[in-house]
């Protein structure tokens, strides 16, 4: 008897709902993204979320950063070697020229020897043992 009573109660409820007037509203889509007409105050929040989720790294940007770092390192090394070469030139040809000397820097050794008519530079690469010899003639001017 309980099953018949509940079935008849459901039928009665359904019939009452079907007979009652129904009302509905129009569905209106409201975009969130300001690019598509949404609230412009959402833009910073949405950009922050997108940036936090972005796992993509631009390989061109990584190469550009690496290239800039390499360029800086090369320019710095060039400037340091230029300053060092100026000191070597000053030691050999400056106001108080030395007859001979040895200068070590990095993995290289520079030795110089002054004779009457020339200066001989010997540059040795300590890592490979390679030797470069430069002979520079000296000019003697009459006072």
Domain segments of the chain as ranges = 100-142
Q: Identify the band that residue 124 occupies on the pLDDT scale cut at 50, 70 and 90.
A: very high
| Res 130: pLDDT | 92
SS (H, E, C) 98-142: CCEEEEEECCEEEEEEECCCEEEEEEEECCCCCEEEEEEECCCCC
Q: Identify the band that residue 34 occupies on the pLDDT scale cut at 50, 70 and 90.
A: confident
Burial tier of 34 (Cβ tally within 10 Å: 0-12, 13-18, 19+)? middle
Mean pLDDT of the 130-140 span: 86
Instruction: Identify the bridge partners of residue 131 per DSSP, sorted by sequence position.
Output: 124
Cβ distance 90 to 111 under 8 Å? Answer: no
| Res 5: pLDDT | 64
The string of pLDDT tens digits covering residues 41-73 is 888 888 888 889 988 888 887 777 778 888 888
Percent of the chain with pLDDT over 90: 10
| Res 120: pLDDT | 92
For the chain, counts of helices (H) and of strands (E): 3, 4
Closest CA to 118 of 86, 85, 93: 93
């Amino acid at each position: 008897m309980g099953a018949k009573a509940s079935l008849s109660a459901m039928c009665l409820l359904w019939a009452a709902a079907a007979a009652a007037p129904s009302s509905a509203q129009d569905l209106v889509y409201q975009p969130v993204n300001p690019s598509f007409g949404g609230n412009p105050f959402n833009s910073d929040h949405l950009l922050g979320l997108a940036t936090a989720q972005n796992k993509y790294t631009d390989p061109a940007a990584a190469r550009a950063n690496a290239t800039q770092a390499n360029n800086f390192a090369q320019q710095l090394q060039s400037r340091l070697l230029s300053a060092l070469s100026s000191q070597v030139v000053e030691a050999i040809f400056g106001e108080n020229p030395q007859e001979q000397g040895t200068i070590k820097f990095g993995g290289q050794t520079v030795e110089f020897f002054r004779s009457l008519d020339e200066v001989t530079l010997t540059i040795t690469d300590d890592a490979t043992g390679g030797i470069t010899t430069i002979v520079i003639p000296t000019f003697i001017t009459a006072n």
